[in-house]
Amino acid sequence: MNCSIAAILIAVGAAGRVSASGDLQALLEQAVAASYRSPVEARRLDAELRTLLRDAPDSTIEAGTYLNDCRSLIEEDGEQALAAALAGKAALDQAPDQVMQLRLELCEYAAREYLGQSSESLVGYDRAVAQAENLGVSSLEAEARFARGELRGYEGHYGDALEDMQFACRKYHELGLADEALSCVQAIAVLYFRLEDYDRAIEYLQDVIPEREARNQTHMLADALYNLARAREGKGDLEQARGIYERSQQLSSALGNETSEAYSAQALGRIFIRQNEPARALPLLDSALAVFRRLKDQDYTARLLAARAEALFMLGRSKEALASVEAAVAIYGELRQLPGLEQSYQLLARILLHGAQAERAAKTLLLERDVHAQLDLARRDESLARQRAEFDTERKEQSNRFLRSRNKLTARALEGVQRIDRLKTAVILLSALLLLMGGVFVARQLALARRLSALAMADELTGIGNRRSVLAFLDEQIRLHRASGKPLSVVLLDIDRFKQLNDLYGHAAGDQALKSVADLCQQLMRDNDKIGRTGGEEFLAVLPGAPLSDAGDVAWRLCEQVRELSLDAIDPGLRTSVSIGVSQWRADDADAQEVIKRADTALYEAKATGRNRVELAPG
């Protein structure tokens, strides 16, 4: 049975009036605890507490009620959550409280993230992390890192996400904040789900669920069950997943949480699609889509558009399916949500191929491969980040269960990457086969094949070589080097502070900077050299016949020319710089990765010693 604040006041002998701030703080804590159980109940308690505050004003506690409102509204109504955060900040105007102010700003960024403003939110989270560090409040720093980690994981930046979440979970554990620590473990499970390590996600969620039940935290229990069902679905246990989704939906319905019900409806719709029952799926997807469109939730709108396209395609309604998936691609592209974009490109290619639009389908598959390459790089960076993390194993096992089996997770993640690569290759080969079977004239087939081959080896954004092409060139040069004995060097360069440029001027400006740097580097290459973009703001150049000293000269020329490169089109007077690592192939190197690794170490040294410089790896 829920008890109102008035009842609580009677219980403590307050006779309907509270004058002591300690009693008011205790009531706020009651409302916060209720948010894990029922967001609706929590907001009712917040409203009652604000009524009491008219007789005993306390701006920090009043702001705290709005903060609790904001947090409870995030997944239900982003605009209302944002309004609550702003109301809380207004309550602090007369009596500033830096810690409460920052907590409200974190919730404001979360609301804006929900409304599709993820880039602005990430900038805000970065700023909040720095402010929390300056304030020296451990719980606040953990909160900021946790919020940033969730967004990074959502966008596919798994290494950065894991680092933030590890920090937050450790802090919550050290501070004895049990509810927050439990939520952190729940979020780590979601990260494992995104890495397709479904067994680990299931293991963690099965630890979380009994705790949520024991604490009577119905709202968070429904969320944990929803994610457990997703992991079961990922493993292919569709009937089991369906039963868990239905239980989650029942809990949400009992709480009167329309948004959570819509989450479960879209999930059940997805299950019906996988069970080849699109007619049962479509009404569920349409009802959920209406909810998320009304709430302006761009992420779930895109998910539902993609799922709806799948159902329509199965029902033979290809024209409607095409429009739906194209809308999903547009939203995912705007959100820069790479996992969703990858899956939507796959579906779009299938629909186009079915509609005899083979050339556009093949180009779509190339776009999908580029997105996959970015995710591949993120997963590999994530594995390296874990390898560099220095956690005491025994303490990790006892106190941080979410960090177990790092190497096993890395192996599974990389195995998944390789498996998907094989599937992508098979899809492209199948596309080519279907082109041949389609009765297209041989000359056109050959011309298309040449265009596709060129596209497959080029970076779509900059037009220079992509990761695959430059690594293939390096492997070829290594074979020639072994036969001829001629020197061979590599140059690895990274644009300095590119993230800040992206955050300050936007992704379009960042793309323009990448193109400008790539064009300049291409111009400065020697006739036999090759440069490619290997991911993000990183480029790799292969210099056949160049000893380390000559490669160093090329690198310094690159460094100096980039420093003078005009980016006035972005902002008058704007300039950038690069840090560069150079290494030479050794006779005892086993493969290309060894010479690249030495260049990467030298690049790291260049960044650590001030950036805008060149470091040569020992020969």
Q: pLDDT tens digit string along 319-347? A: 898 999 899 889 888 877 788 888 888 88
13 residue type, one letter: G
**H helix count then E strand count, the chain:** 27, 6
CA angle 481, 482, 485 (to 5 degrees): 60
Q: State residue 543's pLDDT score.
A: 96
> Rounded to whole angstroms, how far apart are CA atoms 66 and 85?
6
What domains can you pick out in the chain, each with its CATH number?
465-616 (3.30.70.270)
> Rounded to whole angstroms, how far apart are CA atoms 359 and 459?
19
Which residues does 79 contact at the CB level (< 8 Å), separation at least 6? 111, 115, 295, 296
**What angle separates helix 442-456 from helix 358-388, to the nearest 10 degrees?**
20
**Average pLDDT, 10 consecutive residues per value, the chain (619 residues):** 39 40 78 79 86 85 86 79 87 81 87 80 87 89 88 77 84 86 86 81 88 86 88 83 85 77 82 85 90 82 90 89 90 82 86 82 83 69 41 37 41 48 53 49 43 56 87 88 88 92 84 93 90 91 94 95 92 93 92 91 91 91
Q: State residue 542's pLDDT score.
A: 96
> Rounded to whole angstroms, how far apart are CA atoms 161 and 163?
5
Condensed to tens digits (0 to 9), the pLDDT of residues 276-300 reads 888 988 998 998 899 888 878 888 8
Does this model's pTM top 0.85? My answer is: no
Q: State residue 612's pLDDT score.
A: 94
Strand ranges of the sheet holding 614-616, from the earlier edge strand across to the other edge: 465-466, 530-535, 538-544, 488-495, 578-584, 614-616
Q: State residue 525's pLDDT score.
A: 92
Which residues does 238 contact at the CB level (< 8 Å), separation at least 6? 232, 271, 274, 275
H helices of 400-441, in order, are: 406-437
3-state secondary structure of 197: coil
Q: State residue 544's pLDDT score.
A: 94
Condensed to tens digits (0 to 9), the pLDDT of residues 533-591 reads 988 899 999 999 999 999 999 999 999 999 999 998 888 889 999 999 999 999 888 88
Element (H, E) at 570: none
Q: DSSP character for 356?
A: T
- Percentage helix, strand, coil, to 5, in the chain? 75, 5, 20
Q: Give the CB-side neighbour count of residue 77, counting CA atoms within 13 A.
A: 12
Q: Count Cβ atoms below 10 Å from residue 22 Cβ, excluding itself.
A: 8
> Rounded to whole angstroms, how far apart are CA atoms 446 and 481?
33
